[in-house]
Amino acid sequence: MNQLKYSLVLFALLLPVNLSAGERLVYAVNHGVVGDWNTEVFVISPDNPQPTLVFSDETSPVKLGFMSNTGTSAPARTVVFQNRLFAPGKERTSKSTAPATGIFEFDLANSGKSRKILDLPSGERADEIIVDGSASKLAYLSLGANGLTLFIHDIKTGNLLRKLDLTKTQGGCVLRHFRWLPDDKTLFFTLEEGVDGFMEDNDSKRIGAWTMLDDGTLQTRLPAALGKLQVAGYRSDQPPILLGVINGQYLLHPRLYQTSKPANSTVFLALADPHSGASTAVNLEAPPGLSAFTLSRSGRYLAYAQQDKAKFVGSTYVISPVHLWAKPVPTGAAKELFFLDVKQRGASLTILGWASD
């Protein structure tokens, strides 16, 4: 595997990309400081791990406005559908101090040509963005001082289709990993334990994976046992996170951790049958420290990042590179695509999604 240094990423050529070769992973490299950073968007194929730079907002009239994040259940502040990127941003001519004033569509096959889909209402922000399987509806979650609101818009016209108050649904929990199921009518999400002092007595009963219709009705908590795995030497104290659906089976992250500390450890996901409840382990065959699990729309590939914990070596604080992995699911060998040296000031890597023809 060729080592890809940050300096090489910055000076990559901006080239048109042929997406006909199948699914490609889309990721972003942010560099700079908060309030003054630039974002470059790359695609890379699991079969040919040579990154291609497809868009840079440094010379674009629209500046991308999502925060970099590689957390395990990090919110999806961007969506990739085929060769289209949906992301918050703002025109460079805007006088607003907010990182984003609207949600835009970028054409990844045409050097990032963009159009605005909608303006964000005053006081609202795009904390998580999702698009349905036909790219006809776009939804975003906005967490404000008055609660959590879901907005659903028509992508073509930008018209508001639905506005839902999810404050009572969330309670004192944290709502994560919000997506549409393949029927394009049902949403799923995971509620995790919230900050101490905000959780009420009944909120612990909310924790877990949920589904609901996108009109806010039929809210259903999935069985807590769905996606649980029995793996020798591992255990979990938290309900699994629902990541997506593969051929009718739910892919979940059971959040196992080792009860001992041997030389090697790994991360497991679970494929669960929602009817029988039976689960099969998916071994990701990669070092610990994995995050940002992103399933392709076909369900063929799973991408994830891996980074060792920063540490002091003597008096030097060492920040480890971020490694980008892809794995065919449910079976197939995991493959490291490349790693990025993020020691430079402000450098970060964010997985955005999967492009396809």
Q: Is 345 helix (H, G, I), strand (E, B) or coil?
A: coil
With contact defined as beta carbons under 8 Å apart, do 306 and 17 qualify?
Answer: no
Domain, as residue range, for 164: 6-355
Task: Name residue 103's beta-bridge partners.
Answer: 88, 118
Beta strands in 122-168 (DSSP E): 128-131, 137-144, 147-154, 160-165
CA distances for 291 relative to 54, 70, 296, 305, 324, angstroms: 24, 6, 15, 5, 10
Cα–Cα distance, 25 to 354 (Å, whole number): 5
pLDDT tops 60 at residue 15:
no
Average pLDDT over residues 228-250: 88
Tokens of 299: 């369900």
Residue 236: count of CB within 10 angstroms of its CB? 16
Residue whose tokens read 């963009």:
114
pLDDT tops 50 at residue 11:
no
pLDDT per residue over 71-97, tens digit each? 544 556 899 999 999 999 999 999 988
Q: What residues contact 157, with CB distance under 8 A and at least 6 apart?
A: none
pLDDT tops 60 at residue 25:
yes
Is 232 a member of any domain? yes
Q: pLDDT band at 271, cuts 50/70/90?
A: very high
pLDDT the model gives residue 34: 60
Query: Is the entire prediction scored with pTM above 0.85?
Result: yes
Is 261 a member of any domain? yes
pLDDT the model gives residue 200: 78
Q: CB-side exposure of 15: number of CA atoms within 13 Å?
A: 11
pLDDT tops 70 at residue 255:
yes
Q: pLDDT band at 264, cuts 50/70/90?
A: low
Is 25 a member of any domain? yes
CA distances for 320 relative to 274, 323, 343, angstroms: 39, 9, 8
Is 234 a member of any domain? yes
pLDDT per residue over 291-312, tens digit each? 888 999 889 999 998 888 878 8
Tokens of 101: 């004033």
Number of structural domains (the chain) is 1
pLDDT the model gives residue 21: 46
Q: Which residue has the higher pLDDT, 16 or 221?
A: 221
pLDDT the model gives residue 1: 34
pLDDT per residue over 160-176, tens digit each? 999 999 999 998 888 88
CA distances for 33 relative to 47, 68, 111, 248, angstroms: 34, 11, 24, 43
Q: pLDDT band at 289, cuts 50/70/90?
A: confident
Is 196 a member of any domain? yes
Is 86 a member of any domain? yes
With contact defined as beta carbons under 8 Å apart, do 349 and 68 qualify?
Answer: yes
Residue 107 is part of a domain; what is its CATH number?
2.120.10.30
Is 1 a member of any domain? no
Q: Which residue has the higher pLDDT, 336 or 4?
A: 336
Cα–Cα distance, 28 to 10 (Å, whole number): 11
> Phi first, then psi: what are they for 203, rounded to 5°?
-65, -25
pLDDT tops 60 at residue 110:
yes
Is 170 a member of any domain? yes
